[in-house]
Amino acid sequence: MTSTTDEPREAQQGRQARLALARAAYRDIPVYSPHGPGENPPPVRIDASDNTNLWGPPPAAARALREAPGDLVSRYPALYAHELKRLLAGHAGVREAELVTGCGSDDVLDSAMRALAEPGDAVAFPVPSFSMIPTFARMNVLRPVGVPLTGDWDADADGLLATGARIIYLCSPNNPTGTLTSEAAIRRVIEEAPGLVILDEAYAEFAGRSHAAESPAWERVLVTRTLSKAWGLAGLRVGYGTGSAWLVREVEKARGPYMVNAMAQRAVEVAMTEDRAWVEARVQEAVANRERLAAALARLGLRVLPSAANFVLAGSGRAREIAATLQGEGILVRLFAGLPLVGDALRIGVGPWEQMQQVIDAIGRVVTTGNGTGEEAAT
Protein backbone atom coordinates (compact mmCIF):
# COMPACT_ATOMS: atom_id res chain seq x y z
CA MET A 1 0.00 0.00 0.00
CA THR A 2 2.91 2.34 -0.67
CA SER A 3 0.82 4.34 -3.12
CA THR A 4 -1.52 5.65 -0.41
CA THR A 5 1.34 6.75 1.85
CA ASP A 6 3.28 8.29 -1.06
CA GLU A 7 0.34 10.21 -2.40
CA PRO A 8 0.30 13.02 0.14
CA ARG A 9 4.02 13.64 -0.42
CA GLU A 10 3.52 13.74 -4.19
CA ALA A 11 0.60 16.08 -3.77
CA GLN A 12 2.74 18.28 -1.54
CA GLN A 13 5.61 18.32 -4.03
CA GLY A 14 3.16 19.17 -6.79
CA ARG A 15 1.85 22.06 -4.76
CA GLN A 16 5.35 23.36 -4.05
CA ALA A 17 6.25 23.13 -7.73
CA ARG A 18 3.15 25.12 -8.63
CA LEU A 19 3.90 27.71 -5.98
CA ALA A 20 7.41 28.11 -7.39
CA LEU A 21 5.93 28.71 -10.85
CA ALA A 22 3.21 31.13 -9.75
CA ARG A 23 4.07 34.80 -9.57
CA ALA A 24 4.54 35.68 -5.88
CA ALA A 25 2.10 38.60 -5.97
CA TYR A 26 -0.60 36.33 -7.37
CA ARG A 27 -0.47 33.46 -4.87
CA ASP A 28 -2.97 34.94 -2.46
CA ILE A 29 -5.31 36.58 -4.94
CA PRO A 30 -8.68 34.82 -4.79
CA VAL A 31 -10.68 34.04 -7.91
CA TYR A 32 -13.69 36.40 -7.97
CA SER A 33 -16.75 34.35 -7.03
CA PRO A 34 -19.55 36.44 -5.52
CA HIS A 35 -21.87 33.44 -5.33
CA GLY A 36 -19.40 31.29 -3.43
CA PRO A 37 -17.38 28.49 -4.97
CA GLY A 38 -18.76 27.58 -8.36
CA GLU A 39 -18.90 29.89 -11.27
CA ASN A 40 -22.50 30.84 -11.81
CA PRO A 41 -25.37 31.92 -9.62
CA PRO A 42 -28.05 29.28 -9.19
CA PRO A 43 -30.89 29.55 -11.72
CA VAL A 44 -33.51 31.93 -10.34
CA ARG A 45 -36.72 33.71 -11.41
CA ILE A 46 -35.57 37.14 -10.32
CA ASP A 47 -31.85 37.95 -10.23
CA ALA A 48 -31.56 41.22 -8.32
CA SER A 49 -27.98 40.46 -7.23
CA ASP A 50 -25.76 42.30 -9.73
CA ASN A 51 -27.40 45.69 -10.47
CA THR A 52 -27.85 44.99 -14.18
CA ASN A 53 -30.90 46.32 -16.07
CA LEU A 54 -33.81 44.08 -15.02
CA TRP A 55 -35.95 45.43 -17.89
CA GLY A 56 -33.59 43.67 -20.32
CA PRO A 57 -31.52 44.97 -23.26
CA PRO A 58 -32.28 48.18 -25.16
CA PRO A 59 -34.42 47.24 -28.20
CA ALA A 60 -32.42 48.71 -31.11
CA ALA A 61 -29.16 47.20 -29.82
CA ALA A 62 -30.82 43.80 -29.39
CA ARG A 63 -32.11 44.00 -32.99
CA ALA A 64 -28.64 44.95 -34.28
CA LEU A 65 -27.20 41.85 -32.60
CA ARG A 66 -29.80 39.57 -34.20
CA GLU A 67 -29.24 41.09 -37.65
CA ALA A 68 -25.43 41.35 -37.52
CA PRO A 69 -23.76 40.38 -40.84
CA GLY A 70 -21.37 37.40 -40.82
CA ASP A 71 -18.22 39.37 -41.62
CA LEU A 72 -18.68 41.19 -38.33
CA VAL A 73 -17.49 38.04 -36.59
CA SER A 74 -15.11 36.63 -39.21
CA ARG A 75 -13.06 39.87 -39.29
CA TYR A 76 -11.17 41.64 -36.49
CA PRO A 77 -12.97 44.58 -34.93
CA ALA A 78 -11.78 48.19 -35.23
CA LEU A 79 -8.39 48.30 -33.52
CA TYR A 80 -9.23 51.03 -30.98
CA ALA A 81 -13.00 51.17 -31.54
CA HIS A 82 -12.88 54.52 -33.36
CA GLU A 83 -16.59 54.84 -34.27
CA LEU A 84 -17.73 53.59 -30.88
CA LYS A 85 -15.44 56.08 -29.16
CA ARG A 86 -16.71 58.93 -31.32
CA LEU A 87 -20.30 58.21 -30.27
CA LEU A 88 -19.46 57.63 -26.58
CA ALA A 89 -17.41 60.84 -26.52
CA GLY A 90 -20.38 62.80 -27.88
CA HIS A 91 -22.56 61.23 -25.20
CA ALA A 92 -20.08 61.96 -22.40
CA GLY A 93 -19.29 65.51 -23.56
CA VAL A 94 -15.59 65.00 -24.29
CA ARG A 95 -13.43 64.76 -27.44
CA GLU A 96 -12.72 61.34 -28.94
CA ALA A 97 -9.05 61.62 -27.90
CA GLU A 98 -10.23 62.05 -24.31
CA LEU A 99 -12.00 58.68 -24.12
CA VAL A 100 -10.72 55.11 -23.78
CA THR A 101 -12.94 52.02 -24.12
CA GLY A 102 -12.46 48.62 -22.51
CA CYS A 103 -13.85 45.14 -22.02
CA GLY A 104 -16.18 46.47 -19.33
CA SER A 105 -15.12 49.36 -17.12
CA ASP A 106 -13.36 46.67 -15.07
CA ASP A 107 -10.81 46.51 -17.88
CA VAL A 108 -10.38 50.29 -17.85
CA LEU A 109 -9.86 50.30 -14.05
CA ASP A 110 -7.34 47.46 -14.24
CA SER A 111 -5.46 49.04 -17.16
CA ALA A 112 -5.34 52.43 -15.42
CA MET A 113 -3.65 50.87 -12.40
CA ARG A 114 -1.15 49.12 -14.66
CA ALA A 115 -0.46 52.30 -16.63
CA LEU A 116 -0.15 54.84 -13.84
CA ALA A 117 1.59 53.25 -10.85
CA GLU A 118 4.82 51.34 -10.19
CA PRO A 119 4.86 47.95 -8.43
CA GLY A 120 4.62 48.51 -4.68
CA ASP A 121 2.76 51.84 -4.93
CA ALA A 122 -0.43 52.22 -2.89
CA VAL A 123 -4.01 52.37 -4.15
CA ALA A 124 -6.33 54.01 -1.60
CA PHE A 125 -10.07 53.43 -1.73
CA PRO A 126 -13.10 53.82 0.56
CA VAL A 127 -14.40 50.89 2.61
CA PRO A 128 -16.87 49.56 1.84
CA SER A 129 -16.69 50.16 -1.88
CA PHE A 130 -16.33 48.23 -5.14
CA SER A 131 -14.93 44.82 -4.16
CA MET A 132 -12.79 44.47 -7.30
CA ILE A 133 -10.54 47.43 -6.45
CA PRO A 134 -8.24 45.66 -3.95
CA THR A 135 -8.10 42.70 -6.34
CA PHE A 136 -7.14 44.85 -9.34
CA ALA A 137 -4.53 46.54 -7.14
CA ARG A 138 -2.96 43.18 -6.23
CA MET A 139 -3.13 41.99 -9.84
CA ASN A 140 -0.96 44.97 -10.72
CA VAL A 141 1.41 44.40 -7.78
CA LEU A 142 0.10 47.48 -6.00
CA ARG A 143 -0.74 47.83 -2.31
CA PRO A 144 -4.46 48.16 -1.52
CA VAL A 145 -5.17 50.58 1.36
CA GLY A 146 -8.78 50.80 2.53
CA VAL A 147 -10.06 53.94 4.29
CA PRO A 148 -13.47 53.67 6.02
CA LEU A 149 -16.33 55.86 4.81
CA THR A 150 -17.36 58.64 7.19
CA GLY A 151 -20.37 58.22 9.50
CA ASP A 152 -22.64 59.81 6.89
CA TRP A 153 -21.44 57.48 4.10
CA ASP A 154 -19.14 60.02 2.46
CA ALA A 155 -15.59 59.32 1.28
CA ASP A 156 -13.08 60.40 3.94
CA ALA A 157 -11.10 62.83 1.80
CA ASP A 158 -8.53 63.60 4.52
CA GLY A 159 -8.04 59.93 5.33
CA LEU A 160 -7.57 59.00 1.68
CA LEU A 161 -5.10 61.86 1.10
CA ALA A 162 -3.19 60.96 4.27
CA THR A 163 -2.25 57.61 2.75
CA GLY A 164 -0.15 59.46 0.16
CA ALA A 165 -1.32 56.81 -2.33
CA ARG A 166 -0.21 57.03 -5.96
CA ILE A 167 -3.81 56.24 -6.96
CA ILE A 168 -6.96 57.26 -5.09
CA TYR A 169 -10.21 55.57 -6.09
CA LEU A 170 -13.62 57.13 -5.48
CA CYS A 171 -16.99 55.70 -6.44
CA SER A 172 -20.18 57.77 -6.78
CA PRO A 173 -22.84 56.54 -6.35
CA ASN A 174 -20.83 54.11 -4.25
CA ASN A 175 -21.25 50.34 -4.60
CA PRO A 176 -22.42 48.59 -2.42
CA THR A 177 -23.81 51.40 -0.23
CA GLY A 178 -25.61 53.24 -3.07
CA THR A 179 -24.71 56.53 -1.40
CA LEU A 180 -23.41 59.60 -3.22
CA THR A 181 -19.88 60.84 -2.60
CA SER A 182 -20.09 64.53 -1.75
CA GLU A 183 -18.95 67.15 -4.22
CA ALA A 184 -16.73 68.58 -1.46
CA ALA A 185 -14.91 65.26 -0.95
CA ILE A 186 -14.47 64.68 -4.68
CA ARG A 187 -13.06 68.15 -5.27
CA ARG A 188 -10.77 68.07 -2.27
CA VAL A 189 -9.28 64.72 -3.32
CA ILE A 190 -8.84 65.93 -6.90
CA GLU A 191 -7.17 69.17 -5.81
CA GLU A 192 -4.76 67.57 -3.31
CA ALA A 193 -4.02 64.06 -4.58
CA PRO A 194 -0.36 63.52 -5.49
CA GLY A 195 -1.16 61.08 -8.30
CA LEU A 196 -4.08 59.68 -10.25
CA VAL A 197 -7.69 59.99 -9.06
CA ILE A 198 -10.13 57.43 -10.44
CA LEU A 199 -13.79 58.39 -10.14
CA ASP A 200 -15.98 55.34 -10.82
CA GLU A 201 -19.38 56.44 -12.10
CA ALA A 202 -20.87 53.05 -13.02
CA TYR A 203 -24.25 54.26 -11.67
CA ALA A 204 -24.10 57.94 -12.67
CA GLU A 205 -27.26 57.71 -14.81
CA PHE A 206 -29.37 57.01 -11.72
CA ALA A 207 -27.87 59.93 -9.80
CA GLY A 208 -28.37 62.35 -12.70
CA ARG A 209 -24.85 63.69 -12.39
CA SER A 210 -21.48 62.86 -13.93
CA HIS A 211 -18.03 64.40 -13.91
CA ALA A 212 -17.03 62.91 -17.27
CA ALA A 213 -17.33 66.18 -19.21
CA GLU A 214 -15.07 68.06 -16.76
CA SER A 215 -12.52 65.29 -16.40
CA PRO A 216 -10.15 66.29 -19.25
CA ALA A 217 -9.58 69.71 -17.67
CA TRP A 218 -8.41 68.10 -14.41
CA GLU A 219 -5.37 66.44 -16.06
CA ARG A 220 -4.98 63.61 -13.51
CA VAL A 221 -8.57 62.39 -13.18
CA LEU A 222 -10.01 59.34 -14.92
CA VAL A 223 -13.80 59.01 -14.81
CA THR A 224 -15.05 55.49 -15.60
CA ARG A 225 -18.51 54.67 -16.94
CA THR A 226 -20.16 51.48 -18.19
CA LEU A 227 -22.78 50.09 -20.56
CA SER A 228 -23.45 47.26 -18.08
CA LYS A 229 -25.89 48.91 -15.70
CA ALA A 230 -28.34 51.57 -16.96
CA TRP A 231 -27.72 50.62 -20.59
CA GLY A 232 -28.67 46.95 -20.15
CA LEU A 233 -25.68 45.53 -22.05
CA ALA A 234 -23.62 43.80 -19.33
CA GLY A 235 -23.17 40.66 -21.43
CA LEU A 236 -21.34 42.61 -24.14
CA ARG A 237 -18.70 43.91 -21.69
CA VAL A 238 -18.24 47.52 -22.75
CA GLY A 239 -17.02 50.32 -20.50
CA TYR A 240 -15.07 53.52 -20.96
CA GLY A 241 -12.96 56.11 -19.22
CA THR A 242 -12.66 59.84 -19.82
CA GLY A 243 -9.83 62.19 -18.95
CA SER A 244 -7.11 64.31 -20.47
CA ALA A 245 -5.82 63.03 -23.82
CA TRP A 246 -2.36 62.05 -22.49
CA LEU A 247 -3.85 60.15 -19.54
CA VAL A 248 -6.33 58.27 -21.70
CA ARG A 249 -3.50 57.38 -24.10
CA GLU A 250 -1.45 55.84 -21.29
CA VAL A 251 -4.42 53.73 -20.22
CA GLU A 252 -5.04 52.65 -23.82
CA LYS A 253 -1.41 51.51 -24.10
CA ALA A 254 -1.76 49.36 -20.99
CA ARG A 255 -5.05 47.91 -22.21
CA GLY A 256 -3.92 46.93 -25.70
CA PRO A 257 -5.76 46.62 -29.03
CA TYR A 258 -8.94 44.75 -29.99
CA MET A 259 -10.34 44.63 -26.46
CA VAL A 260 -13.90 45.54 -27.45
CA ASN A 261 -15.29 42.84 -29.70
CA ALA A 262 -17.02 43.59 -33.00
CA MET A 263 -20.54 42.57 -31.95
CA ALA A 264 -20.26 44.73 -28.84
CA GLN A 265 -18.96 47.71 -30.83
CA ARG A 266 -21.84 47.43 -33.31
CA ALA A 267 -24.56 47.01 -30.68
CA VAL A 268 -23.35 49.89 -28.52
CA GLU A 269 -22.99 52.16 -31.57
CA VAL A 270 -26.64 51.44 -32.38
CA ALA A 271 -27.70 51.88 -28.74
CA MET A 272 -25.96 55.27 -28.60
CA THR A 273 -27.90 56.51 -31.63
CA GLU A 274 -31.31 54.79 -31.24
CA ASP A 275 -31.85 53.67 -27.63
CA ARG A 276 -31.28 56.83 -25.61
CA ALA A 277 -34.96 57.52 -24.96
CA TRP A 278 -35.55 53.90 -23.91
CA VAL A 279 -32.66 54.04 -21.44
CA GLU A 280 -33.78 57.40 -20.07
CA ALA A 281 -37.30 56.05 -19.47
CA ARG A 282 -35.96 52.92 -17.69
CA VAL A 283 -33.68 55.09 -15.52
CA GLN A 284 -36.66 57.21 -14.42
CA GLU A 285 -38.66 54.08 -13.66
CA ALA A 286 -35.75 52.61 -11.68
CA VAL A 287 -35.40 55.79 -9.61
CA ALA A 288 -39.14 55.84 -8.80
CA ASN A 289 -39.15 52.12 -7.93
CA ARG A 290 -36.01 52.53 -5.82
CA GLU A 291 -37.78 55.03 -3.58
CA ARG A 292 -40.84 52.77 -3.25
CA LEU A 293 -38.65 49.73 -2.51
CA ALA A 294 -36.60 51.65 0.09
CA ALA A 295 -39.77 52.81 1.86
CA ALA A 296 -41.24 49.29 1.88
CA LEU A 297 -38.02 47.77 3.28
CA ALA A 298 -37.84 50.45 5.98
CA ARG A 299 -41.44 49.62 6.95
CA LEU A 300 -40.31 46.01 7.38
CA GLY A 301 -37.67 47.21 9.85
CA LEU A 302 -34.57 46.98 7.66
CA ARG A 303 -31.94 49.75 7.91
CA VAL A 304 -32.01 51.19 4.39
CA LEU A 305 -29.17 53.45 3.24
CA PRO A 306 -30.06 56.49 1.08
CA SER A 307 -29.40 55.31 -2.49
CA ALA A 308 -28.64 57.31 -5.63
CA ALA A 309 -28.13 54.15 -7.72
CA ASN A 310 -30.34 51.35 -9.13
CA PHE A 311 -30.01 49.25 -5.98
CA VAL A 312 -30.53 49.65 -2.27
CA LEU A 313 -28.42 48.35 0.59
CA ALA A 314 -30.47 47.24 3.57
CA GLY A 315 -28.85 46.24 6.87
CA SER A 316 -30.51 43.51 8.92
CA GLY A 317 -29.51 41.17 11.70
CA ARG A 318 -31.45 38.55 9.73
CA ALA A 319 -29.85 39.24 6.33
CA ARG A 320 -28.43 35.71 5.99
CA GLU A 321 -31.77 34.11 6.78
CA ILE A 322 -33.59 36.43 4.38
CA ALA A 323 -31.12 35.77 1.54
CA ALA A 324 -31.37 32.00 2.00
CA THR A 325 -35.17 32.05 2.11
CA LEU A 326 -35.40 34.26 -0.97
CA GLN A 327 -33.05 31.99 -2.86
CA GLY A 328 -35.27 29.04 -1.98
CA GLU A 329 -38.11 30.97 -3.62
CA GLY A 330 -36.10 31.71 -6.77
CA ILE A 331 -35.05 35.26 -5.91
CA LEU A 332 -31.37 36.16 -5.79
CA VAL A 333 -30.11 39.21 -3.87
CA ARG A 334 -26.51 39.92 -2.86
CA LEU A 335 -25.67 39.11 0.74
CA PHE A 336 -22.88 41.07 2.40
CA ALA A 337 -21.91 39.42 5.68
CA GLY A 338 -20.24 41.66 8.26
CA LEU A 339 -19.87 44.64 5.95
CA PRO A 340 -17.75 47.36 7.63
CA LEU A 341 -19.95 50.09 9.19
CA VAL A 342 -23.12 48.26 8.13
CA GLY A 343 -23.00 44.69 9.43
CA ASP A 344 -24.95 41.96 7.66
CA ALA A 345 -26.81 43.47 4.74
CA LEU A 346 -28.63 42.76 1.49
CA ARG A 347 -28.00 44.61 -1.75
CA ILE A 348 -31.10 44.50 -3.89
CA GLY A 349 -31.14 45.60 -7.55
CA VAL A 350 -34.13 47.66 -8.66
CA GLY A 351 -36.28 46.50 -11.57
CA PRO A 352 -39.89 46.45 -12.76
CA TRP A 353 -42.29 47.01 -9.86
CA GLU A 354 -43.97 43.64 -10.27
CA GLN A 355 -40.58 41.99 -9.46
CA MET A 356 -39.91 44.35 -6.57
CA GLN A 357 -43.31 43.52 -5.06
CA GLN A 358 -42.35 39.83 -5.07
CA VAL A 359 -39.06 40.64 -3.33
CA ILE A 360 -40.83 42.75 -0.69
CA ASP A 361 -43.50 40.10 -0.09
CA ALA A 362 -40.87 37.38 0.34
CA ILE A 363 -38.84 39.49 2.79
CA GLY A 364 -42.03 40.39 4.62
CA ARG A 365 -42.83 36.72 5.13
CA VAL A 366 -39.43 36.18 6.77
CA VAL A 367 -39.35 39.21 9.07
CA THR A 368 -42.95 39.06 10.28
CA THR A 369 -42.72 35.37 11.16
CA GLY A 370 -39.96 33.01 12.25
CA ASN A 371 -37.53 32.97 15.09
CA GLY A 372 -36.00 36.42 14.93
CA THR A 373 -35.06 38.58 17.87
CA GLY A 374 -37.94 40.94 17.23
CA GLU A 375 -35.39 43.51 16.10
CA GLU A 376 -37.14 43.72 12.75
CA ALA A 377 -40.75 43.56 13.84
CA ALA A 378 -42.95 45.57 11.49
CA THR A 379 -43.69 49.05 12.73
Ligand X SMILES: *Cc1c(COP(=O)(O)O)cnc(C)c1O
Binding site for ligand X (CB under 6 A): 51, 104-106, 130, 171, 175, 200, 202, 226, 228, 234, 239
If the CB atoms of residues 171 and 319 are measured against ligand X, the closer one turns out to be 171
**Min. distance of Cβ 107 from ligand X in angstroms?**
7
**Min. distance of Cβ 314 from ligand X in angstroms?**
17
Residue 216 near residue 98 (C-beta atoms within 8 A): yes
**Min. distance of Cβ 80 from ligand X in angstroms?**
18
Residue 270 near residue 64 (C-beta atoms within 8 A): yes
The residue number whose beta carbon is nearest to ligand X equals 104
Q: How far apart, in whole angstroms, are the C-alpha atoms of residue 142 and residue 273?
A: 39
Q: How far apart, in whole angstroms, are the C-alpha atoms of residue 155 and residue 182?
A: 8
Q: How far apart, in whole angstroms, are the C-alpha atoms of residue 321 and residue 263?
A: 41
Length of the chain: 379
If the CB atoms of residues 259 and 294 are measured against ligand X, the closer one turns out to be 259
H or E element: which one contains 100? strand 99-103
If the CB atoms of residues 51 and 140 are measured against ligand X, the closer one turns out to be 51
**Min. distance of Cβ 238 from ligand X in angstroms?**
7
If the CB atoms of residues 232 and 239 are measured against ligand X, the closer one turns out to be 239
If the CB atoms of residues 134 and 301 are measured against ligand X, the closer one turns out to be 134
If the CB atoms of residues 166 and 229 are measured against ligand X, the closer one turns out to be 229
**Min. distance of Cβ 171 from ligand X in angstroms?**
5
The half-sphere exposure of 287 on its side-chain side, counting CA atoms within 13 A, is 15
Q: How far apart, in whole angstroms, are the C-alpha atoms of residue 100 and residue 238?
A: 11
Q: How far apart, in whole angstroms, are the C-alpha atoms of residue 192 and residue 199?
A: 15
**Min. distance of Cβ 130 from ligand X in angstroms?**
4
